[in-house]
Amino acid sequence: MSAPATIAEPPRTLGARPAYRVTGPRVLRSEWAKLWSLRSTWITLALGLLFLVAFGLIAASRYRSGYDSGRLDGDFAHATAVSLSLFGTNFAQLALGVLGVLVTAGEYSTGMIRSTMAAVPRRLPVLWSKAGVFGLVALVVGTVGAFVAFLIGGGIVSGTPAAMDLSHAGVVRSLLGAGLYLGLVGVIGAALGALLRSVAGGISVLVAALMLVPGLMSLLPSSWQDDVNRYLPSNAGQSMFALTHDSTALSPGAGLLVFLGWTALALAGAAYRLRRSDV
C-alpha cells in the first residue's frame, strides 16, 4: 500500500523591515533622552536654580536688614527688587554654561560620539539638536528661577524704596530677559564643548569669556573701555535684563542682538569643526 501523498507548504516569507529614516524630530528625541539619562544633568540644573534663587534672596535680605537698621551699604543705594532678585544670575550662568559644555564635550571624552555620528551621518543635526534641547531646558530653568526669586524677594523688600511688583514697567521684560540670557549661555556652553571637544577647555573658555575678560578691560585706555565693554558677551547679556540703562550700556534690544551674535559665532565655529573633522 502506497504512503499517502503530502502537500508541501509554501515557504513563509517575513515582512520586509521598514527602512529607518533619520529625521529632525527623531534626533531631538534622542538628545532629549540622553540629556535626562545623566545624573549630572539633574544635579547641575538643581544647582543653577538654587544659585539663582538663593543668592537673590540673600541680596534682598541684606538690603532689608540694612534699610531697617539705617546702615544701608552704598552698593545697594540704587537697588531695586529686580536687581536684587537677579543677583544670582552670575552664579547660575556658570552652572548652566558648564552643563552645556558637558552635554557635548562629555560624549567626546567617553567616545560615545562615534555611536552618535554613526546613527546620524549628516552630523550637523546632532549639534543643532544638542544646542536646541539644552538651550530650551536652560531657558525654562532660568525663567522659573528669575520669577521665583523676584516674587519671594519682592515680598522681603516690600515697604522699602526697592519695592516693586510685576505691574511695574520693565519688570516682566527684565525677568524674561534673564531667562533668555541663561538659555543662550547654555547654548554657548554646548557650542564650546563641540568646538574644543574638551570639558576642561570648554569650561575654561566659558569662564574667561563671561568673567575674566571683562575684568581685564580695565587695562585698556579709558577712552576705549566704554566702547569695548558694552559689546563683551557678559555685558551685552546683562543689558538684556537690566531694568535701567546708562549711556555706557546697550539697550535691551541691542544687547540681545549682540549676544545672539556671540552665540551664532560659537555655533558656527562648532559646526565648521564638526564638518571638517573625522568624528
Least-confidence region, from 11-25, 201-215, 261-275: 11-25
- How far is Cα 238 from Cα 235, in angstroms, rounded to an integer? 5
CB atoms within 10 A of CB 42: 10
Instruction: Using pLDDT thresholds of 50, 70 and 90, give the confidence band for residue 114.
Output: confident
Q: Which pLDDT does position 18 carry in this prediction?
A: 54
Residue 15 CB-half CA count within 13 A: 3
Name the residue with cell 532689608: 64
Q: Which pLDDT does position 1 carry in this prediction?
A: 47
Q: What pTM was computed for the model?
A: 0.88
**Mean local confidence (pLDDT), 99-116:** 88
Residue 199 scores a pLDDT above 90: yes
Instruction: Using pLDDT thresholds of 50, 70 and 90, give the confidence band for residue 25.
Output: confident
**Mean local confidence (pLDDT), 143-152:** 96
The three-class DSSP label of residue 118 is helix
Contact 85, 56 (CB under 8 A): yes
The domain spans of the chain are 33-68+75-276
The pLDDT tens digits of the residues spanning 200-247 come to: 999 999 999 998 888 888 777 777 777 788 899 999 999 999 988 777
Burial 165-202 (b: 16+ CB within 10 A, else e): eeeeebbeebbbbbbbbbbbbbbbbbbbbbbbbbbeeb
Q: Which pLDDT does position 19 carry in this prediction?
A: 54
Instruction: Using pLDDT thresholds of 50, 70 and 90, give the confidence band for residue 151.
Output: very high
Q: Which pLDDT does position 8 carry in this prediction?
A: 55
Instruction: Using pLDDT thresholds of 50, 70 and 90, give the confidence band for residue 14.
Output: low
Q: Which pLDDT does position 27 carry in this prediction?
A: 85
- How far is Cα 274 from Cα 277, in angstroms, rounded to an integer? 5
3-state DSSP helix/strand/coil percent for the chain, to nearest 5? 75, 0, 25
- How far is Cα 146 from Cα 172, in angstroms, rounded to an integer? 10
Residue 6 scores a pLDDT above 60: no
Residue 188 scores a pLDDT above 90: yes
Percent of the chain with pLDDT over 90: 56
Contact 242, 181 (CB under 8 A): no
Name the residue with cell 522699602: 160
**Mean local confidence (pLDDT), 73-85:** 85
Instruction: Using pLDDT thresholds of 50, 70 and 90, give the confidence band for residue 264.
Output: very high
DSSP secondary structure letters along 51-79: HHHHHHHHHHHHHHHHHHHT---GGGTT-
